[in-house]
């Protein structure tokens, strides 16, 4: 009799005894067990990334010397802004090579965290807290919805091309805003569009996590979800800052 061992104890694949719930209709029992293990691994890595981001951001916010240095050295801000993009290239190339993938993932997370910390340091604490609460609520809600939808047979792979075009529009919008500032209203619109796009990305990447990522792509899966969460937080922060400035 075929069996397996997981957090539920020993279960029987043939009878279904002790198996976790099916992720989507038609998934084989063994695949379902392995996929749940893969998902737990990805969320474990993502949790470490978010904790690290919180710690690094807190250091930046509560250390005036760090904030002062970054503000007085514009080139350092530019370097910190482009550093994650630089690190993504080797991270993608080595994301299946242990342990260099973990080292690059740590550097990438710290680089993103520095940017988040700078933005938070330049924002009122109450606005940061509001954005954090909203982000947590949206992420949990959309994640729960995606797992429910997947279990009912819904598929969100069609969102890929649409979201890619959306990101290109955001990049162009940001470049225009940099050289030709359009005012707080345009920033509010930019924040709303960004929050909608990255909310949809949470659904898309969670659906990929459930169905499409291979078991050795756990690093890249965590990177995708991490970027979705961080970009959603920054988008909501931009909306709240724009509303505050208007008031």
Q: Give the pLDDT score at 74.
A: 76
Q: Is the pLDDT of residue 8 over 70?
A: no
Q: Give the pLDDT score at 123.
A: 85
| Contact criterion met (CB below 8 Å) for 70 and 80 | yes
Output 7 or 242, whichever has higher pLDDT. 242
Residue 79 is encoded by which pair of tokens? 């370097």
Q: Give the pLDDT score at 246.
A: 58
Q: Give the pLDDT score at 12.
A: 47
Q: Give the pLDDT score at 158.
A: 93
Q: Is the pLDDT of residue 13 over 50?
A: no
Residue partners of 9: CB distance under 8 A and separation at least 6: 18
Residue 66 is encoded by which pair of tokens? 């760090």
What average pLDDT does the segment 12-31 reach?
A: 74
Residue partners of 73: CB distance under 8 A and separation at least 6: none
Task: Pick the range with the lowest mean pLDDT from 117-121, 179-183, 184-188.
Answer: 179-183
Partnered with residue 4 across adjacent β-strands are 11
| Contact criterion met (CB below 8 Å) for 42 and 225 | yes
Q: Which of 30, 56, 36 is CA-nearest to residue 109?
A: 56
Q: Give the pLDDT score at 16.
A: 46
Average pLDDT, the chain: 86
Rounded CA separation 91/114 (Å): 18
Q: Give the pLDDT score at 80.
A: 83
- For the chain, give every domain's residue range: 3-246
* Tens digits of residue pLDDT in 34-55: 999 999 999 999 999 999 999 9
* Tens digits of residue pLDDT in 83-128: 888 998 898 888 888 889 899 999 999 999 998 998 888 888 899 9
Rounded CA separation 44/50 (Å): 10
Partnered with residue 12 across adjacent β-strands are 3, 17
């Amino acid at each position: 009799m075929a069996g397996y061992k997981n957090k539920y104890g020993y279960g029987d694949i043939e009878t279904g005894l002790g198996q976790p719930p099916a992720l989507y209709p038609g998934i084989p029992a063994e695949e379902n067990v392995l996929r749940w293990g893969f998902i737990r691994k990805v969320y474990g890595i993502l949790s470490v990334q978010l904790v690290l981001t919180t710690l690094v951001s807190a250091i930046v916010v509560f250390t005036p010397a760090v904030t002062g240095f970054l503000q007085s050295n514009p080139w350092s801000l530019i370097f910190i802004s482009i550093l994650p993009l630089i690190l993504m290239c080797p991270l993608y190339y080595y994301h299946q090579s242990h342990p260099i993938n973990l080292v690059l993932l740590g550097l990438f997370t710290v680089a993103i965290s520095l940017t988040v910390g700078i933005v938070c340091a330049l924002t009122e604490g109450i606005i940061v807290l509001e954005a954090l609460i909203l982000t947590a609520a949206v992420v949990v809600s959309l994640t729960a919805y995606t797992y429910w939808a997947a279990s009912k047979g819904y598929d969100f792979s069609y969102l890929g091309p649409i979201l890619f075009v959306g990101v290109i529009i955001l990049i162009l919008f940001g470049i225009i805003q940099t050289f030709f500032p359009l005012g707080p209203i345009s920033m509010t619109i930019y924040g709303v569009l960004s929050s909608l796009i990255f909310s949809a990305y949470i659904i898309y990447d969670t659906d990929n996590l459930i169905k499409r990522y291979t078991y050795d792509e756990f690093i890249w899966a965590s990177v995708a979800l991490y970027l979705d969460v961080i970009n959603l937080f920054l988008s909501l922060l931009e909306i709240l800052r724009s509303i505050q400035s208007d008031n």
